[in-house]
Structure 1
Amino acid sequence: MKRGSYAFLLLVLIGCGAGATVDQNEILWDSWGIPHIYATHDSNLYQMMGWAQMRNHGNLVLKLMGEARARSAAYWGRDLERDQLLHQLGLIDAAERAFAGLSEEDRTVVEAFAKGINAYAAQHPEAIDKEYRVVLPVEARDIIYHSTRVFYFEFLINRNLGTARKWAPGSNGWAVNGSRTTSGNSMLLANPHLPWNDFWLFFEAHFVTPTNNLYGVTLVGLPVLGIAFNEQLGWTHTVNTLDNVDYYELNLQNGQYLLDGAYRDFEVDSVRIVSGTDANAGEKWVVKKRSEFGMVIETSGDRALAVTWPNMDGETNPLGQWKAMGEAHDLQEFQRALDKNALPLFNVLYSDKHDNILYHFGGHVPRKNGDWKKWQGVVPATGREELWNGYYAASELPGYLNPESGWLQNANDPPYTSTIPAPIQPEDYPDHIAPNHMSFRPQRSARLIQEADRLDLNEFIRLKHDTRSELALRLQDEFRQLMKETTDSLTLSALEVLTKWDGAFEADSEGAVLFANLINQVGSSKYFETPWSYKEPLRTPDGLKNSEAMLAAIRKAAETQLTQLGALNTPFGDVFRMKVGEHDYPGNGGPGNLGIFRTMNYAPGVDGRWQVVHGDTYICATEFGEQIQAKALLTYGNATQADNPHRGDQLKLAAEKQLREVWLSREQQEAHLELLEKLEDM
């Protein structure tokens, strides 16, 4: 497929209006594998969304639906522990209650989405691997099972369990108003960071209806767009520092638990699950024990461990809030969508064409007794004073609207550093809502946008791809001083590499590998003499506690690198790669704990090389003027099916730190048309 003829650097100009004249139900697939879905009403829209996700991710969609049913062991003989936990923690029951309580509007969405999934599978059985056909047909409740699994189990609970995957939730977001731009228009950067596989993958799509023109991404298997913009406004998310999964130690006696001086019965139920797919498949009964302190996950003697998490009763539907956010046409409508408070987590950063910018610390934030520190461990459970007392309303949570600074940022830091100086203070809110700290990636984020002036969209995008390590820059003075404190030749050679290096993690950077090896040994902050201070958030921590210890660590890192790579100045891209399928390019960007805004996390690959497994996923920079300008990229491509040409087809642009045009006008879509599908043929 030819790419040279596509003008990557041009900006798409989009006419304004609430929606478009739509009299056909069809999908225009562009040459990047992105579906532009034209629909006369919601049921058609979401049916075609289900069909579209199956075309690009058919095997993955069905796998995720089967897993969300807690049937992995029955279908594929694997992941029995997750099947058990989905029942034991009450997630399947919560999903059932949530599905039963859906509004007619929300039920239409999931029913139509499931219908599209099944229609594609029926018409294209050859496109689905045999092992995943067992999941068919997909039911509307499966969509709620899946959203419950992703939001509550993966984003929230699984991060706190000892069996949790070792991933770091991360994202970047910027919103700036016209005081910071050359055009006087506000701009928005969406830049989520998630693993590059499985249920974390994004799907990019465009919805065109008579009332809206919405463009963005959602997680594979979900019908509504979760990070998006329309012709009036846009928003992005970052994972926030909230604590809404808590653990309690219960006192037991004769099968009961202690509460307010009396022993009470658990609510007990059980469910049979199957493990194995052959004639020797076994059965297992999972016992579900619910207390007022949450679901029991472990019992030992006269003690039990219980976990509580938000929306255990299935009273809210996160998908409904995302739908309302995407259908908002002004700030007031968007704020009403936020007031639903149905999403269990996420910061929200927002910009619109009327030069408004907004930050909102969102999610189900429980009212508790005690400070943040108390709730980071297991809490002894004896009385009701330790129970959650409902949730804070959206209006009670930290937020900013049009700060004097003219900019907002979040890189997974607490809400109090999302602009500087902050118009809100930590003491304005109960301590258990959020901690107060700022690691090096948020510092880099804030410094980049604070020091920028008179931005245009291209400069906005260039700053987004900054690969310099704020931690490395903070240590440059210390490294130069250390050269005066040692005579060891190997240590001096390593320090020479580190002090000549500019702190960037580009493919040709010659100090980045050595620095990463050093920080892997010593950590990212414990060796500083001056700790982080809210009064000087972008200047601390600083200084070394122990020069001798750092010199020893530098020598050890140098020895290790010489053994592994044979040189101290190995170019970063020789070792760290961006790879999807057959696409393989030198890497740039690095781990967020090093203070790198262009976040890329790598894992061991082949031939001694490492490859990206987590980091920049969807990137979208949007300027909200009379005519919207937007560029975007989905780093790993918009498909996972093995024979789909869009698996990894955007990776070259990612390696080159380029974004592509967002084609929102029908004329542009037809000029880059790959396939046209009509609903009547689905």
Structure 2
Amino acid sequence: MQRKFTFSSLLFLTIFLTETSFSQQKPTYKQAEILWDTWGVPHIYAKNDESLFYAYGWAQTKNHGNLILQLYGQARGKGAEYWGEKYAQADRWVITNSIHERAAEWYTLQKPAMRKNLDAFARGVNDYANENPDKISPEAKRALPITAVDVIAHAQRVTHFVFLAPQTQVASLERMQGDKNGSNAWAIGPKKSTSGNTLLLTNPHLPWTDLYLYVEAQLVSPGVNTYGISRMGFPILTMAFNATAGYSQTVNTNDGQDFYELTTVEGGYKWDGKVKAFEAKERILKIRQPDGSLKEEKMVIRHSVHGPVVSEKVGPPTRGKTIAMRVAGLGQAGIFEQYWDMARAKDLTEFEAAVSRLQIPMYTLMFADNKGNIFNLFNAEVPVRPLGDWNFWSGVVRGDTSATLWTKTHSYKDLPKVRNPATGWLQNTNEPPWTATVPMVNNYKDFPAYMAPAPNMSFRTQRSVRMLMNSDKISLDEFIQLKLSTQMELADRIAPELIAAAEANGSPEAKEVASVLSNWDHNTDNESKGAFLFDRFVRKWVGGTEKLNSLGTASKLFSTPWDLNDPINTPKGIADPKAALVALLDAAKEVKATYGRLDVPWGEVFRFRIGDVDLPGNGGPGPMGVFRTMTLGAPIDGKYFPAHGDTYVAAIEFSKPLKAKVLTSYGNATQPDSKHNNDQLPLLSEKKMRPVWFTREEAEQHLAEKTVFK
């Protein structure tokens, strides 16, 4: 009798053989030690790569065990099964997009050495949890044991289905724009540097919770010594530097997710004038109930030639339309191998050899090395599309014809990139690739119209470019000072006109408003008085907090919109000063009613709080042009806290020896009993950074604890 193997049985067999191979081999993956510094950063020294990955899995679980086990459980599509209804919607997205199934396929496609490394990382996670059962919550243990397939699934979920193709976009069926999840990155060449050494800035801005968090670490094994951050639960560093080179990444404008409207008919959907049947599969979603029982929900997932059907809503915006989704890069299984080689690259030649594989589907990459090279790449899996521009593909396109179906992506040589520009500097703040340096090197008209949006500059981009253009030679200390600037570009642009309108009004209320804004220096530092009043005004002026991210330099609120021929000094003027004054006075009324005065210090209202640490905050909204980006969450008792913003900062000078300073805003641990889940907040509040302890001698001088694997 012929036995039929299901996908689940094959996956079980793969995991069984993996676990069996571990038990039959010598424990070569335990030749490592971890030097824990006083900030909870693990400096891992290993005799081989397998041991390094093992120790890193162990270290991440020590600092973040409850969270990463929860994330791996969600990557299986079993968050609701383990932890209840609140995870069901995310599970549906994982299951609809076959994330865990594809991860099993990707596992088999890994090179043997990387497969062993991923197995070792998963074993490190499991060993820590098994050896320290009192440190892991009973709820988190439901996800044990972890396999390398879970690790791959988590990385795929985050990269492809949170950043590239987020579930939230299904609601609007349009690619999100604005200034929310993002980053800053700079690279300074020798001609712009005081010392003649290159400088690199890494500065992601993401939510301060859940799968968006970063882990700071140093990984050292034969031929490897790299420092930086991983996305939570990733087995490799995703932004890193070594003694001679480094790189950062920022969320870019790549549209690697497309929605197709299908015309459904009996027997399937219309396709090139014929009827094509859907491919359908059934899956069971289990949802834990309050009493511990499991409710089962049958999911029928239909696939067209484009991909899975993701929306069949009855009401707006789809009005009964059936929508399928196509995502770029799902056949590229080498994401970990590429990141690993990027982190180890010693110079630009080695870095380009790694990134040219295009295994990472998005992110602008910024690079510098000690040979004097700086480099910016619009890294993306960009579909080769038969027609249309970026705006056309940002919405819903016809799915009844092969004329709109793309089947391949652009090669590395097709992507916008800048090497060693004459300006001596490069920057990215999530804008399209054309403004990597100014004057612009790449002409957007030389690239396909769907590659990226036409040139534009947000106020944060303008602030970034202005600081670099206005600086002659930049030292590492000045580089850090510029990074930590809280000056608000929008206030520089319109505050004088706003003050004049208030003074002309002449009422006591308007005169007080004018006085407060006149005395404000346009910064959002702890003691800045006037910043909060201006912030409240802008939100009313644009039509509410929820519309803040749509505030752009092309907004009709300005009398002169952004002009490509004058990209730094436009827009100009307030289109309707009377309406702006009404918004300003309305904001002033609310501020005074809530806080008793208009000149309330920014840091009195905006706070850095984690656990029992509660300190004055600084930095401000990116859409208003604050380079030190901090997004204010919903108020709690009249106070605001970061919902998103500066998460990690690294400022590196590729000198001999290396010089670098860093800060991980929220600390390097999330376990409830760790002192490192808020210990860096005082430095954040004081606008300070920590020195990087890059050598073993430095790590031992600041040693808090040592873990040795035998």
If the TM-score is normalised by the length of the shorter chain, which range does it land in? over 0.9
The aligned counterpart of 2:249 is 237
Cα shift at 1:670: 1.1
Return the match for 1:161 from 170, 177, 201.
Answer: 170
The aligned counterpart of 2:467 is 448
- C-alpha distance in 1 between matches for 2:122 and 2:130: 12
Q: Does 1:347 pair with 2:360?
A: no
Return the match for 2:296 from 268, 272, 283.
Answer: 283
Change (3 A) 1:333 1:650: same
The aligned counterpart of 2:270 is 258
Q: Does 1:395 pair with 2:408?
A: no
Q: What TM-score does the superposition give when structure 1 sets the normalisation length? A: 0.94
1:354-379 CA deviation, whole Å, 9 max, x = no partner?
Answer: 01000000021112220111112111
- C-alpha distance in 1 between matches for 2:653 and 2:556: 40
The aligned counterpart of 1:138 is 146
The aligned counterpart of 1:17 is none
Q: Does 1:38 pair with 2:68?
A: no
Whether contact under 8 Å (1:90, 1:295) holds in the other structure is no
SS at match of 1:28: strand
Cα shift at 1:576: 0.5
Change (3 A) 1:67 1:279: closer
The aligned counterpart of 2:707 is 677
Cα shift at 1:526: 3.2
Runs of 5+ consecutive residues of structure 2 not aligned to the other structure: 1-29, 315-319, 543-550
Return the match for 1:425 from 438, 443, 448.
Answer: 443
Cα shift at 1:96: 2.7
- C-alpha distance in 1 between matches for 2:57 and 2:207: 23
1:255-275 CA deviation, whole Å, 9 max, x = no partner?
Answer: 411121111111111111211
SS at match of 2:676: coil
SS at match of 2:406: coil
Q: Provide the alpha-carbon RMSD of the alignment.
A: 1.8
Instruction: List aligned pairs for 1:520-531, cutoff 5 A.
Output: 520-523=539-542, 524=551, 525-531=555-561
The aligned counterpart of 1:560 is 590
Cα shift at 1:62: 0.6
SS at match of 1:567: coil
SS at match of 2:309: strand
Whether contact under 8 Å (1:479, 1:499) holds in the other structure is no
The aligned counterpart of 1:202 is 214
Whether contact under 8 Å (2:365, 2:376) holds in the other structure is yes
The aligned counterpart of 1:335 is 352
Whether contact under 8 Å (1:89, 1:296) holds in the other structure is no
Return the match for 1:663 from 666, 687, 693.
Answer: 693
Instruction: List aligned pairs for 1:40-439, cutoff 5 A.
Output: 40-78=47-85, 79-158=87-166, 159-162=168-171, 168-277=180-289, 278=291, 280-299=293-312, 303-312=321-330, 314-368=331-385, 369-435=387-453, 436-439=455-458
- C-alpha distance in 1 between matches for 2:458 and 2:491: 13
The aligned counterpart of 2:16 is none
Report how many aligned residue pairs link the two structures: 657
Letter in 2 for 1:434: A
More off after superposition, 294-303 vs 91-100: 294-303
SS at match of 2:220: strand
Cα shift at 1:303: 3.5
1:153-195 CA deviation, whole Å, 9 max, x = no partner?
Answer: 1112225232999992110000001111111000001011111
- C-alpha distance in 2 between matches for 1:385 and 1:230: 47
Cα shift at 1:398: 0.6
Whether contact under 8 Å (2:632, 2:642) holds in the other structure is yes
- C-alpha distance in 2 between matches for 1:553 and 1:477: 16
- C-alpha distance in 1 between matches for 2:364 and 2:35: 32
SS at match of 2:633: strand
- C-alpha distance in 2 between matches for 1:310 and 1:650: 38
Cα shift at 1:534: 1.6
Whether contact under 8 Å (2:170, 2:311) holds in the other structure is no
SS at match of 2:187: strand
- C-alpha distance in 1 between matches for 2:241 and 2:415: 24
Cα shift at 1:59: 0.5
The aligned counterpart of 1:16 is none
Return the match for 1:576 from 602, 606, 615.
Answer: 606
Whether contact under 8 Å (2:76, 2:99) holds in the other structure is no
- C-alpha distance in 2 between matches for 1:502 and 1:303: 52
Q: Does 1:487 pair with 2:494?
A: no
SS at match of 2:312: strand
Return the match for 1:608 from 638, 642, 652.
Answer: 638
The aligned counterpart of 1:473 is 492
Whether contact under 8 Å (1:361, 1:415) holds in the other structure is yes
The aligned counterpart of 1:517 is 536
Cα shift at 1:483: 3.9
Cα shift at 1:280: 4.0
Whether contact under 8 Å (2:188, 2:200) holds in the other structure is yes
1:385-441 CA deviation, whole Å, 9 max, x = no partner?
Answer: 211241111221111000000000111111111100011111111111111211100
Cα shift at 1:484: 5.2
- C-alpha distance in 1 between matches for 2:172 and 2:270: 28
The aligned counterpart of 2:657 is 627
Runs of 5+ consecutive residues of structure 1 not aligned to the other structure: 1-22
Change (3 A) 1:454 1:59: same
Cα shift at 1:448: 0.9
Whether contact under 8 Å (1:34, 1:205) holds in the other structure is yes
Q: Does 1:642 pair with 2:651?
A: no
Tell me: higher relative CO, structure 1 or 2? Use CA pairs within 8 A at least 6 residues apart: 1
Q: What TM-score does the superposition give when structure 2 sets the normalisation length? A: 0.90
The aligned counterpart of 1:11 is none
- C-alpha distance in 2 between matches for 1:439 and 1:481: 25
Cα shift at 1:24: 6.1
Change (3 A) 1:316 1:493: same
SS at match of 1:294: coil
Whether contact under 8 Å (2:185, 2:249) holds in the other structure is yes
- C-alpha distance in 2 between matches for 1:669 and 1:293: 51
Change (3 A) 1:36 1:292: same
- C-alpha distance in 2 between matches for 1:280 and 1:621: 51
More off after superposition, 173-182 vs 543-552: 543-552
Whether contact under 8 Å (1:90, 1:288) holds in the other structure is no
1:583-633 CA deviation, whole Å, 9 max, x = no partner?
Answer: 111000011011000001122354311111211111000001222101111
- C-alpha distance in 1 between matches for 2:298 and 2:457: 45
SS at match of 1:130: coil
- C-alpha distance in 1 between matches for 2:31 and 2:675: 27
1:63-82 CA deviation, whole Å, 9 max, x = no partner?
Answer: 11111111011111131111
Letter in 2 for 1:132: A
Cα shift at 1:41: 1.3
Change (3 A) 1:279 1:599: closer
Whether contact under 8 Å (2:503, 2:514) holds in the other structure is no
- C-alpha distance in 1 between matches for 2:577 and 2:32: 68
1:488-527 CA deviation, whole Å, 9 max, x = no partner?
Answer: 3312321222232111001111110011001111224431
Cα shift at 1:232: 1.4
Letter in 2 for 1:506: D
Cα shift at 1:300: 5.6
Whether contact under 8 Å (2:502, 2:513) holds in the other structure is no
